[in-house]
Amino acid sequence: MFTVENLSVAVGGRALLGGVSFSISPGEVFYILGPNGVGKSSLLKAIMGIPGYEVVGGRVLLDGEDITKLKPFEKASRGLALAFQIPPRLQGVRVGVLLSNICRKTKCDYREVAKVVEVDHLLDREIGKLSGGEGKRVELATVLAQRPRVALIDEPDSGVDVESLVIVARALKELVKDAALIIVTHGAHIARHLPPDKVCVLYGGGFKKCGGREVLDAVFTYGFAGLV
Ligand SMILES: Nc1ncnc2c1ncn2[C@@H]1O[C@H](COP(=O)(O)OP(=O)(O)OP(=O)(O)O)[C@@H](O)[C@H]1O
């Protein structure tokens, strides 16, 4: 069980979010929806412990262990993985080398992982020279290769064409077989392919409405401002 308890987050020394709480188990899909700039990415980065995204209150628990203050690599070794909204454009690093390095630790077959997100034809390409959509699929491959217990996925459906969205959804379905899946999205296009179990709307500094799929329908009908 992965639990975020009454979390407050500051970014660049400025208070951004407060009182964020949720729990999620492996096999569950949790969507965090909200408008641009509300703090969705910052929440995932703070959970992961990325420098500059500070947890100033509350706790992050993995199977009862308080992991709030652990460093990102320590959280990764316990099974947390983050797919960035805009993946780092690593110069001079080839896709196959990165994936095989991760798979060496987790004992996966990097060519099989690459096939899931259809980047097996990109294994010899430099990550920094991929297109935006290719880069996002490679980013998902790195998360798959980590075999996480908790996958934090930032905007998997932004900048992705309709066919690639099907591939992205396939990867997410693969991930959720073993992991708790937390997906941040402002458009929720991915919901056509991967319905959520739980949904929360982040608005005005915290979660304003949480529930099941009906919250997603309400967002489409009323928008964020109309809902809260
Ligand atoms: N490193 C940073 N330093 C200072 N401010 C930041 C930093 N990162 C994000 N912010 C600010 O924090 C706020 C929330 O940004 P964040 O990227 O978390 O929003 P978001 O909800 O993910 O938005 P979007 O849907 O547009 O991706 C924004 O006002 C942003 O400018």
Question: What ipTM goes with this model?
Answer: 0.98
User: Which run of H or E residues covers position 6?
Assistant: strand 2-11
* Mean pLDDT value across residues 71-86: 95
- CATH 3.40.220.10, applies to 2-79+148-226: no
Task: Give the mutation target among 20, 33, 38 for probing the ligand 1 site: most ligand atoms within 8 A of CB.
Answer: 38
pLDDT one-digit tens code per residue, 10-26: 998 899 999 999 999 99
Contacts of 165 (CB under 8 A, 6+ apart): 157, 189, 190, 192, 193
Residues in the chain: 228
Give nearest CA residue, ligand 1 atom 25. Answer: 36
Per the prediction, the chain carries an average pLDDT of: 95
Reply yes or no on whether the pLDDT at 228 is more than 80. no
Enumerate the domain spans of the chain: 2-79+148-226, 90-147
Of 102-106, 159-163, 164-168, where does mean pLDDT reach its minimum?
159-163
Reply yes or no on whether the pLDDT at 116 is more than 90. yes
